[in-house]
Amino acid sequence: MAENKLHTGVWVRQTLRGKREVRISFIPDDFASPSQYTIRPFDEGEKSTWVELLGDPKGVDIDAGITMLRFDQESRLCNATWLPNKNSATKKEIFHVHQKPEPEAGDEDESGADYLRCMDDNAGRSFVEANAACLGQWLV
């Protein structure tokens, strides 16, 4: 099974070329490791994952700024930040903590299992590309 490495750096999403492409970058905590990125076609489904992690802010187009995610080691908590760009209609920054609910007593904790299965299914891709495809599974 894939190792959960979400917490080993900061994830950044930036829209490019008038919403035709999205760059997703990973900036590792270990400065000896290089940053990685992937450029993907714009996808509303992928965008909705990032919006949900930001707390579904009403009236904010996250494509008019940059979104950053930082996960905790247990993958139960995500600190999400959105900073507007100079062309954004919204000038207020967003800081949101998204916490997955604790499993109920007696239930097996499946936290992250769907995400890790998705990462295994995308093992032939780069870590950043696989995570871009699988991040929505983290919310499940």
What's the mean per-residue pLDDT of the chain? 90
pLDDT tens digits for range 47-57? 999 999 999 99
Assess contact for 56 and 44: CB atoms under 8 A. no
Strand partners, 10: 27
Say what the pLDDT of residue 107 is: 59
Question: What is the C-alpha to C-alpha distance for residues 32 and 115, in angstroms, rounded to an integer?
Answer: 27
pLDDT tens digits for range 86-138? 989 999 999 999 998 776 665 555 667 888 899 999 999 999 999 999 999 88
Instruction: Please report which residue ranges of 1-140 form alpha helices under DSSP H.
Output: 44-53, 113-121, 127-138
In the predicted model, is pLDDT for residue 18 greater than 90?
Answer: no
Question: What is the C-alpha to C-alpha distance for residues 61 and 52, in angstroms, rounded to an integer?
Answer: 13
